[in-house]
Amino acid sequence: MRTRITDKKKSKKKIIVALSGGVDSSVAAALLKKVGFEVEGAYMRLNGSGESEIMARRICEKLEIPFHVFSFEKEFKKKVVENFLKDYKSGKTPNPCVVCNKEIKFGLFIKKALSLGADFIATGHYAGKEEVKSVGSKKISYKLRQAKDNKKDQSYFLWKLNQFQLKKTLFPLKNLTKNEVRKLAKNFSLPTFNAPESQEICFVKEGIENFLGKNLKKIGSGKVIDSKGMVIGNHRGLVFYTIGQRKGIGLSGGPYYVLSKNRKRNTLIVTKNPAELKGFDLKAFNVNWILGQEPELPIKIRAKIRYRHKPAEAVLRKLHKKTSYGIRFFKPQPAITPGQSVVFLKGNEILGGGIIS
């Protein structure tokens, strides 16, 4: 098992680890302490205190390191939750983890940690970074890379990060698999060694449909039509459906798949033919380049259109609008969904990403 984090020259640096109360971040903290860093733990309070905060405190007690609580509840509600609801209301299917990473976990958290004297922060993300020195100059750049564990790799959620955020972040789990992390947790006698996997959207505890129904007003029902234009039923409200959805549509004679949504007419378009869900093209906006500058375009890449999607070969080019980019896949891809992130890869490097329009 490869657990080497750094060399001895850096071992006296102060690291504040973002502890979620789960196994991954707790092992990250244990590994950093083991190699000689001055380690402290901090829990981000986003939705009030609870069991995860108690566990984070227990981890620090076990590792005999200082414990902090950073309260970002107001900022989290405004920047993540309200933005999530706004996107759903506009017909998109957003990814709140991407926004949270940029604004909270690698934004406010880094700022707070540095104010407490930290040299770096560390997280339990399965991702990696590479330090690159420019030829003929002293300039150092930081590349975001995928982790060793393909099944757990979380670099997809980090495409909004910038050079400063990467510079100040360590990813101790980049060369470890999930099974290795659990074994290490047991070896370190951490109370998280058998902790369950965390849920995808931390602030949605009652199910997405209940959450949206409770927080969004004026959700009107409407007609369901098939891809040929025939009315075949009624929907509960467009916010409750996402592109490619099969379950919960409520139509007999299926299965049916959600093909698209027409907000102006308040209609849900469905199909029985999964092939109709596939497309060659997408447009992306709000694009971020990890290295801070756009590569020479057009460029051949692999593009990932959702977390569990297998990256597919494509060509990325700039569109007429300065802020828009077009992606043309070599093979058609299923359920390209507005609001989701599309991430651009070259090898195992994350070049950047954008929001699917």
312 vs 115: CA distance, rounded Å: 42
258 vs 227: CA distance, rounded Å: 10
Helix pair 23-34, 51-63: axis angle to 10 deg: 20
Render the burial of 216-225: b for 16+ CB within 10 Å, e for the rest: eeeeeebebb
Tracing tokens 């409750």 back to the chain, one arrives at 240
> Which one is catalytic: 100, 238, 239, 356?
100
60 tagged catalytic: no
Q: Is 229 exposed, middle or buried (0-12, 13-18, 19+ CB in 10 A)?
A: exposed
DSSP 157: G
> Which one is catalytic: 35, 69, 202, 315?
202
Tracing tokens 């920047």 back to the chain, one arrives at 79
Tracing tokens 């060793």 back to the chain, one arrives at 148
C-beta of residue 261 within 8 angstroms of C-beta of residue 240 = no
100 tagged catalytic: yes
Contacts of 215 (CB under 8 A, 6+ apart): 85
C-beta of residue 184 within 8 angstroms of C-beta of residue 9 = no
Supply the DSSP string of 10-42, one letter for each residue: GTT-EEEEE--SSHHHHHHHHHHHHTT-EEEEE
The C-alpha torsion from 118 through 124 and 126 to 131, rounded to 10°, is 10
* 332: helix, strand or coil: strand
| Residues with catalytic roles | 100, 202
